[in-house]
Amino acid sequence: MISTRDEGSALSGESSRRTTASKISHLCILAFRPTLPSSEAARTVGEICLTFHNEESGDIVGWLTRNTASQGGRCIIASAYTVYNVLAVNQPHLVRLLARSDWPFALTALLGNAIHPRPENLPSITAQQLEALDAVEAIAKATQLEIQTQAGDMHFINNLAILHRREGFVDGATAVEKRHLVRMRLRSPQLGWKIPRELEDEWERAFGSKGSRVWYLEPMPDAYFPLRKYPN
């Protein structure tokens, strides 16, 4: 992980795609604040503590902290290597189950939550699958590293090796007390790991030549991620 504080500028747009020293040839960037149409919905989003996950695309995930919440909102990371090693020793059957490519690795998509309810017509996951997800979450939490970010901080993590989440938070009344991150997804064909076949479509959608690139350094439209085809 690399962390810098109070830098005068941040990576953005086409200039970062032409960076040769760092071998970063592509950059997707998006910013997010829990601003939904109603203040009550926005409050609910912030109070929910997210579970450990990876982004659906990007060799490296980075975030620029522009503002922090008045309470909570820390970024928390954990080693996927550690999770794997603990499972391999104690619950190897779950490693084999998790290695299958026929289900997504995301609790929200599988179970739903207050913001993203799961459609009732979709089948539920099995008890073993739920056990596997719970085991990953428990091991990651037991070995996690909490990052107390400040405005101006930039962090970068390996999206294929590091799990991340955030704790619940409460925004304050002023603009500088409202959590605002600019998140970056970076791709390096020269230095990045080989992308698993099952993930190639997601990488192509995010970093392929087709599609427009919009750089949101200011708060985005309510609850919308430009890299996705659907509202968040």
CA angle 41, 55, 53 (to 5 degrees): 75
**Of the given ranges (6-10, 90-94, 127-131, 137-141), which has the lowest mean pLDDT?**
6-10
pLDDT at 7 exceeding the cut of 50: no
Three-state SS annotation for 177-230: HCCEEEEEEEECCCCCCCCCHHHHHHHHHHHCCCCCCCCCCCCCCCCCCCCCCC
Residue 179: inside a domain: yes
- Average pLDDT over every residue of 74-95: 95
| Boundaries of domain holding 165 | 2-79+146-207
pLDDT per position as a tens digit, 167-219: 888 888 998 898 888 888 899 888 899 988 888 888 888 888 766 666 666 66
- Average pLDDT over every residue of 77-90: 96
Parallel, antiparallel, or unpaired for β 154-158 and 26-32? unpaired
Residue 31: inside a domain: yes
Rounded to whole angstroms, the Cα distance separating 149 from 5 reads: 9
Per-residue pLDDT, 31: 43
- Of 155 and 106, the structure prediction assigns the larger pLDDT to 155
**Per the structure block, which two tokens stand in for 184?**
């970056």
Residue 202: inside a domain: yes
State the total domains in the chain: 1
Residue 54: inside a domain: yes
Residue 224: inside a domain: no
Split at pLDDT 50, 70, 90, the class of 115 is: low
pLDDT per position as a tens digit, 40-75: 444 545 566 778 988 888 999 999 999 999 988 889
Per-residue pLDDT, 35: 44
CATH number of the domain where residue 35 is located: 2.60.120
Parallel, antiparallel, or unpaired for β 145-147 and 75-79? antiparallel
Residue 108: inside a domain: no
How much is the mean pLDDT over the chain? 74
Task: Name, of 12-26, 34-48, 67-81, 120-134, the range with top average pLDDT.
Answer: 67-81
Task: Name, of 67-71, 147-151, 153-157, the range with top average pLDDT.
Answer: 153-157
Residue 172: inside a domain: yes
